[in-house]
Amino acid sequence: MTLRFFLCFIASGFFLLSPSQAEEKYNVLFIAADDMNNDLSAFGNAQVKTPNLERLAKMGVRFDRAYCQQPLCGPSRASLMTGLRPDTLDMHTLAHELREKNPNVVTLGQLFRQNGYFSARAGKIYHYGNPGMIGTDANDDPETWDERYNPAGIDKLQEEKIIRYGPNRKPRKDQLGISMAWWDPVSEDEEHTDGMVADKIVELIGKKKDEPFFLAAGFFNPHCPYVAPKRYFDLYPLDEITMPDLEEAKADLTDVPPMAVQRDTKHWPYYFDKVSLEEARRCKQAYYACNSFVDALVGKLLDALEENDLLDKTIIVFWSDHGYFLGEKGLWYKRKAFERSAKMPLIIAAPGLAAGKATTLPVELLDLYPTLADLCGLTPPSNLEGASLRPLLEDPDTAVWTKPAVTQIWHSPTAWGYSLRTERWRYTEWLEGEAGLELYDHNHDPEEITNLASDPGKADLMRNLSAQLKPFVQLKDHKRQ
């Protein structure tokens, strides 16, 4: 071998390994909101101002029908971080039991760690009691991360200033985790826990810009209590906040199986006894303010990527763990099989893939794990129960996607159900149909006002939907009646 040939051989070999060491790895910026529904300008509700989520949607694909696997923080987050359904994990409550029940599971961040990525989070990714566990590791999984950060701002440190309604009007800290309560301090973003979360992720983006990273920003808003700087409240004059008519709301529930709303009927409306319409309006205003606060922090994260020349090297995911009721049907909170509880915002922007697109095809949060593994060229565990969203990210207009979305509810061994969402229909079975059925036609009834389950003309359709749902009903025996 001549010296010239040898040098050419070495050069060509180097080229094969190099131009970016066999392809540069994409970073992942994983942004989570807590209890955020789709009342956002980025998803068509012009009243709720979210210009930075609109900006992100122009960079990627907006999923207009994205659904959680269970509308409760703990099981929803465990599911999406493992790519496994709550039944598979045997997790349906807020208990801290991921590794206890699934000691060998490989979580999403853990997969990235195993493949040479720096994995870190600030704030809430796994379940945190909010605000009780702010500032702690809460139900976190240490094997997911290289580093973890748990800031606590004035929303946690000055809880006595939060205004409470219903039975929780007295300043008891243990009652804020589920409350109708708000506070609008004249403050700066960085004085709040979520502002601190954003600042930490911005710092890590700068520090880790020269190595592949998986960074998770876990915002606590808009989970109750609804606390944000006053300027975000000022975006929503109270006289512009409307609430559904309560008589019409009550009528919406007359054809619904009792189990579907059993947690909500004792003190209907608004979940708590003696909450007035005016107080509910103030809480809705505060919720919208918190959404705009989160949006501003998303903008700060996008700016940090841009300032560090990382936008074309980073996959950005924005998600919430489930949706949220704000008085529709007279209901509040989550833990329901209706659309407003099961659906949440999801936006994915990936370099080189579709931008400024949207899709109405149903997808699931547990699809995020296989999607990110696929886009980053990583080999995920073989037992994942979602599917890669790559076809929808490449071209949502032509993608073939037939997988339905399944959301389940579990209250107790005698109260549980499963809901199937196709592009047109929502079909729900309570106790496998023994405690009632629901069917809604989203082409004509997007608010799910009329339950068609008793319509004889829909019998064949319901048999078909029930057959589609049946394989997903995998609740373990000890969780059944």
- Tell me the one-letter amino acid at 60: G
**Residue 192 annotated in active site:** no
Taking residue 255's Cβ as centre, other Cβ atoms within 10 Å add up to 14
**Sign of the C-alpha dihedral, residues 305, 43, 323, 438?**
negative
Number of H helices, E strands in the chain: 15, 19
**From 68, 73, 283, 376, active-site residue:** 73
The packing angle between helices 193-207 and 277-307, to 10°, is 10
Long-range contact list for 456-463, CB < 8 A, 24+ apart? 461/425, 462/427, 462/437
CA distances from 345 to 33, 36, 44, 127, 328 (A): 9, 7, 11, 18, 18
Q: Please state whether beta strands 325-326 and 346-349 pair in parallel, antiparallel, or not at all (unpaired).
A: unpaired
User: Whose CA is closest to 129, among 175, 192, 71?
Assistant: 175
Tell me whether residue 1 is exposed, middle or buried, using C-beta atoms within 10 angstroms of its C-beta: 0 to 12, 13 to 18, 19 or more. exposed
Indicate the helix (H) or strand (E) that contains 297. helix 277-307
| Rounded distance between C-alpha atoms, residue 176 and residue 91, angstroms | 24
Contact predicate 258/438, CB 8 Å: no
Bridge partners (DSSP) listed for residue 123: 218
Taking residue 7's Cβ as centre, other Cβ atoms within 10 Å add up to 10
**Residue 73 annotated in active site:** yes
| Rounded distance between C-alpha atoms, residue 412 and residue 422, angstroms | 27
**From 92, 127, 223, 322, active-site residue:** 127
| Rounded distance between C-alpha atoms, residue 109 and residue 114, angstroms | 9
Q: What are the backbone angles phi and psi of residue 55, rounded to the nearest 5°? A: -60, -45
Q: Which residues are catalytic?
A: 73, 127
